[in-house]
Structures are given as structure tokens and as C-alpha cells.
Amino acid sequence: MSCTFGHTLSGDGTLEISLIADASGVSGDPSAVLRSIETMRPGSRVVLSTDAAPFIAPLVIAPPSLAILFKIATLCAQREVSLSFSGFPEQVTRQLSLALSVPARKGARRARGEDRLIVSIGRASVSLIENLTGWLSFLGELLMALWLFIRRRARVPVRDIWVILDECGPRALPIVTLISVLVGVILAFIGAQQLRQFGAQIYVANLVSVAMLREMGAVMAGVIMAGRTGAAFAAQLGTMQVNEEIDALTTLGISPMQYLVVPRVVALIIMMPLLCVYADVLGILGGALVSSLTMDISLAQYFNQAQIAVHMRDLWLGVSKSGVFGVLIAISGCLSGIRCGRSASAVGVAVTSAVVSGIVAIVLSDAVFAVITEVLGI
């Protein structure tokens, strides 16, 4: 029950291929046939015949069968070998001549295959450099647009700023509430476990309040906003790019930077510090909850201790960090969106890269802040 390709080379250089197929169609290995066509001289003839007429109906339907015949026919065309069919029904030959009517465009087929290590390293470095310069030039354009905005010379839709403020502020409160309370609770539990060994549980208040104000409030709010708002920015701008809406702005002489990016950056610069303060407060409350319920620390003791521990500069540090995070999130979101390709999957890629680069930027800049504050003794 197998199909076979028999082939014989006749005296005048004509290759006769006979196809013996059964009800399962053609599925045999044509590589021997293909190899012998490859050795043929231009101008010689190939005759493809079959005696499988009863099975031609499934042969027509089964795509692999036609694909094998197509492969033979293209190779013949490439080698400038003339090909004739005998015994095939008209549907088959018609379909094949349709497939062959437009030859593969030269240079259209992409070279596939494994790059060597050095090539992939080269490609990776080039794309890294392109990404970095992309970031820098975007930042430059953005700063120029912001400068124009501050001098009230930019066309920035103020109405849009309000819409975006609402979108990334009040609407983010539930998730920020949940996460920051839980972070406060977690910090308090870990602290309590360790501090209990010294009988210094009261210092849980120090731990939670200092950690929330200096680090966790800003970082958690930042990560939430990167996943929520950064992704939304990338998706909005990416879809606009796919839809040619951004082209339509550009050709109207409206700078997408001023019209689309500035409102988003401004909204996040305003909203992030507010969200950060909110997260700080809720995180400290979460800590208070744990210490009053599971330890012998009253709320009054907790807040008293927290008041001694924290300084105004801790709050300012966290808040200013969050402002920087806001800018970074907005830039990664908008940059990915504006650089988006022209397809639906490109929007997906843009959103992913917005979130990833947003979170990486937050963590990197937080590390830089840590070093700076250490050196300055803040």
C-alpha cells in the first residue's frame, strides 16, 4: 500500500517518471527523482505519467500530493527542462500551471538557517545600539516638546490630559490599595519574625514605615503602573500606528510627540507621586494592622515609633523617585507604541516590550538612586 516513483532514463535523454499511487494519494519520497532531474541538461524532457487514474480523485484533494508534483514541476522549470504530463486529469494539470504561472520573485525568498555565533552577537549588538539611540533621540524630542509645552507654545490637547489623569489615577486606586496594604503586611510579618529573636518587635514600625516611604511605595506603584498604564499607552499608540492614525496626524503638521506623548508623560508625572504617597500610607497601615493584631503593639505605640523612625527626607526621596519612574513608564509605553509595526501581532510585541522595558527601567534607576543616596548619606 505504498506509493512509488519509478523513473527511467531513456536513450534520447528523456526522463520518464511514473507515479504509482494508491488510495492514500502520493506521499512517497520523491528525493531520488528530484536528484536525477537536477543532473539533467537544460532542454531535455521529463514525462510525468501515472496509471493511478482510479485514485486521481483523492490525489487532487490531498494537498501533499499536489505539493510533491509542484516541487517536481518547479525544479524542471529551474533547470529549463520541459515537463509534460500524461494520464493526469485536467484538474491536476490546470492547478499546477496556475501555481507555476507566477514564478517565485527573485530575491523575495528569505534566506533561512542558523546564524553563526559571531553573526548573532553582531546582530544583537547592532540592535542594542539602535535601541539605545532610539531611546535617546525619543528622550531628546520629548524634552523639546515638554519645553514647548511649558512655554505654552506646544499644541497639547489639555482635555486629553484630564482623561489620561483619570485613567491612570483614580481608576488605579483599587489595585494600588490591594498591593500596598499587602506589601505592608508582608514586611511586618517578616520583620516580626526576625525582630522577635531580640525582643525588639516594636521596631517593626521602623522597618515598615522606612521601607515603604523610601522604597516599596514608589517601586510597587511603579511596577503596577508599568503593567497597567504603560501597557495601555503602548496598545493605544500601537493601534493608532496600525490604523495610520499617527500618519494622519503627522501629515496634518501635528507632532505626535506633542499631541500624543506629552499628555501621557505629563499625566504620569502628576499622578505617580500622588499614587506613591497613597501607597506609602496604605503600606504603613497594613503594617499597623499586623502589629496590632498579632503582636502586643498598640496602634498608638506603632505610630509613635514610626514617627520617630521616619524623616521628611524619606518621604521626599520616595516621592521624587516615583516621579522619575512615572517618566520612565510613560516613555517606554509611548516609545514602544510609536515604534509599533503595522500588524496586530506587532501591537502585542509593543505592549510586551513596554511592560518589560518599563520594569527594567524602574529597577535600574532605583539601583542608581540607591547608590546616590548612599554616597550622599540621605
Q: Which stretches of the chain bind another protein, using CB under 8 A?
A: 105-106, 155, 239-240, 243-245, 247-254
For residue 19, what is the enclosing H or E element? Answer: strand 15-20
Q: Which is nearer to another protein, 41 or 110 (CB)?
A: 110
Q: Which is nearer to another protein, 38 or 130 (CB)?
A: 130
Nearest-approach distance from CB 301 to another protein, in angstroms: 52
- Spatial separation of the C-alpha atoms in residues 349 and 329, rounded to whole Å: 16
How many CA atoms within 13 Å lie on the side-chain side of 61? 5
- Is-contact 206 306, C-beta < 8 A? yes
Nearest-approach distance from CB 268 to another protein, in angstroms: 18
* 8, β-bridge pairs: 16
Q: Which is nearer to another protein, 108 or 375 (CB)?
A: 108
Nearest-approach distance from CB 145 to another protein, in angstroms: 13
Nearest CA among 369, 178, 364 for reference residue 278: 178
Q: Which is nearer to another protein, 259 or 302 (CB)?
A: 259
Nearest-approach distance from CB 128 to another protein, in angstroms: 17
Nearest-approach distance from CB 174 to another protein, in angstroms: 24
Nearest CA among 107, 131, 223, 134 for reference residue 175: 223
**Cα–Cα distance list, 371 to 18, 245, 283, 358 (Å):** 77, 43, 24, 20
Q: Which is nearer to another protein, 41 or 106 (CB)?
A: 106
Q: Which is nearer to another protein, 39 or 251 (CB)?
A: 251
Burial class (CB in 10 A: 0-12, 13-18, 19+), 11: exposed
**DSSP code string of 227-244:** IIIIHHHHHHHHHHHHTT
Nearest-approach distance from CB 92 to another protein, in angstroms: 23
